[in-house]
Amino acid sequence: MILDIILSGLINGSVYALLAIGFSLIFGVARIVNIAHTAFYMLAAYCIYYGTQKLGVNPALCMLAAIIPVTLIGLISYRLFIDPIREHEGAVLIATIALAMAMQEVMLLIFSGDFLGVPHLIEGYRMVFGVKIAYQQLLTFAVALLVLAAVWALLLKTKIGLAIRSTAQDREVANLMGMNESRVAMITMGVSVGLAAFTGAVIAPLAIVNPFMWMHPLIMMMAVVVLGGLGSIKGSFVGAYILGFAESLVVFLLPMGAYLKGSVALSIMILVLLIRPEGLFGIAFEEER
C-alpha cells in the first residue's frame, strides 16, 4: 500500500506542481494574484478539444499549437485588465476572478456544459512496482520535472531571468537600475500563461473538459502556493507533492471519505501555516523583499 500511496501521490503532485509553478512565477515577480491562471489552462484544453475532435488535427501538434493563442489571450488580458490596476492588489484579484468567470461563460456559450474528452498523447499503461500507471500520467510526471528544470534555467541562466529575479527581489531598485519593470512583468505574464497553456495541453487528456474545470485545480493550486510560500517556485514544487501525497493517503486509508481528499489537503495547508505563516519556503515579511 505504501508504494501505491507514493506513486499516486507523485502523479497527483505533478499535476498540481505544473499548475502552481506558473502561478508562483507571476506572483513572485509581479505580485499579481492571477486567479484566471487555471482558466487559461481550461482555454488550452478547449483549444485541444476543438483541434483534435472538430478539425481532426494531430493531438501532439494541437497541444503545441494551443499554447500560442492562449498565451496571446493572456497577454492581451494582462494589457487590458491587469496592467492598468496592477498597483492595487485587491482590484487585480477581483479583476482576474471576473476574467476567469468571463472565460467560463464564453466556453459555456460555445461548447455548453457537456463533458468532453481529448485523446491521450500516449495510450496504454505501464506497471511500476506493481501499480498500473497510464503513460499519460507518467508523461505528466516527466513534464513537471522538465518544466521545473526549464523555469530554473530561464531564471538562472538567461538575461531575462536575471531581470525577472531582480524585479522579484525589489521592483523599485530594478526600475532604478534601468530595467523596464512593466515589460518584465508582461514577459513574466506571458511565460506564466504559456505554462498554464502547456499544463492544459499535458493535463487535458487526463481531465474532463468542461467550462468549470478550472475551479478545483485553482483551489488546490492556491493551496500549494500558499503552503510552499507565496512566490517561491521551489516551495510550490514541494507543496504540490505534499498535497498530492495527502490526497493519496486519504483515498487509501479512508476510502469512504475519498471525497474529503481535497479538504484534508487544505487542512494540512492550514496546519502548516499555523506553525509557519510564511509557508514552507516563503519570505516572512513583505519588507524583506
Partner 1 sequence: MKRFDRGVVFSTILFFLIFSPWVMPSDVATAQAIKVGVIGPMNFMQGKGHWDGATLAAEEINAKGGLQVGNKKMKIELVKADSNEFISMTDATNAMERLMTQDKVNFVVGGFRSEAVLAMQDIAMDYKKLFLGCGAAHPEICDRVGKNYNRYKYWFRVTPMNSKYLVQVCLINLATVNGMLKKELGIEKGKVAIVAEKAMWIDPMIEAIKANVPKMGMELVGTWRPSDKATDVTAELTAVQRADAHIIFTIFSASVGITFARQAGELKIPAAFTGINVEAQKDGFWAATQGKGNYAVSMSTFVRGVSYNDLTDPFVEKYISRFGELPTYTAVTYDAIKSTLGEAIEEAGTIDTEKLIPIIEKAERVVVSAPKAKFDKTHDLVFGPGYATGITFQWQDGKMKGWWPNGWQGVTYKGMAPYKLPPWMIEKYKK
Residues 136 to 165: which contact partner 1 by CB under 8 A?
Answer: 136-137
Region from 19-27, 79-87, 229-237, 249-257 binding partner 1, contact rule CB under 8 A: 249-257
Closest CA to 192 of 45, 73, 15: 73
Sole binder of partner 1 in the list 252, 264, 273, 283 (CB under 8 A): 252
Q: Distance (Å, rounded) from C-alpha 201 to C-alpha 186?
A: 22
CA–CA gap between residue 167 and residue 179 (Å, rounded): 8
Cα–Cα dist 170/30, whole Å: 10
Rule CB under 8 A: say whether 101 interacts with partner 1.
Answer: no
Does residue 108 bind partner 1 (CB under 8 A)? Answer: yes
| Distance between CA atoms of residues 64 and 143, nearest Å | 13
- Binding part of the chain for partner 1, among 85-93, 154-162, 204-212, 281-289 by CB under 8 A, reads 204-212
What does the alpha-carbon distance between residue 254 and residue 236 come to, in Å, rounded to a whole number?
26
Q: How far is the CB of 215 from partner 1 (least distance, A)?
A: 8
Strand partners, 131: 128
Query: Smaller CB distance to partner 1: residue 127 or 274?
Result: 127
CA proximity to 18, closest of 145, 206, 207, 121: 145
H-helix or E-strand spanning residue 125: strand 125-128
Task: Please tell me the total number of residues recorded for the chain in this structure.
Answer: 289
Residue number, 13 or 74, with CB nearest to partner 1? 13
Q: Which amino acid is at 97?
A: I
Q: Which is nearer to partner 1, 53 or 182 (CB)?
A: 53
Q: Does 207 bind partner 1 (CB under 8 A)?
A: yes
* CB closer to partner 1, 2 vs 274: 2
User: How deeply is 214 buried, as exposed, middle or buried, from its count of CB atoms within 10 A (0-12, 13-18, 19+)?
Assistant: buried
Q: Among all chains, which residue has been given the C-alpha cell 503532485? A: 13
Q: Select from 162, 186, 262, 276 the one that contacts partner 1 (CB under 8 A).
A: 262
Cβ proximity of 279 and 226 under 8 Å: yes
Other beta carbons less than 10 A from residue 65's beta carbon: 16
Q: Least Å distance between CB 134 and partner 1?
A: 5
Nearer to partner 1, 205 or 279 (CB): 205
Residue 172: CB minimum distance to partner 1, A: 42
Quick one: which segment of 27-35, 119-127, 182-190, 269-277 binds partner 1 (CB under 8 A)? 119-127
Binding characters for partner 1, 38-67, by CB under 8 A (x = yes): ---------------x--------------
Residue 127 β-bridge partners: 132
Residue 244 is which amino acid?
Answer: G
CA distance 80 to 47: 22
Which range touches partner 1 (CB under 8 A), out of 76-84, 112-120, 144-152, 270-278? 112-120
Out of 60, 84, 112, 180, which residue is the one contacting partner 1 (CB under 8 A)?
112
Contact set with partner 1 (CB under 8 A): 1, 4, 7-8, 11-12, 15, 53, 108, 112-120, 123-125, 131-134, 136-137, 205-208, 210, 212-213, 216-217, 247-248, 251-252, 255-259, 261-262
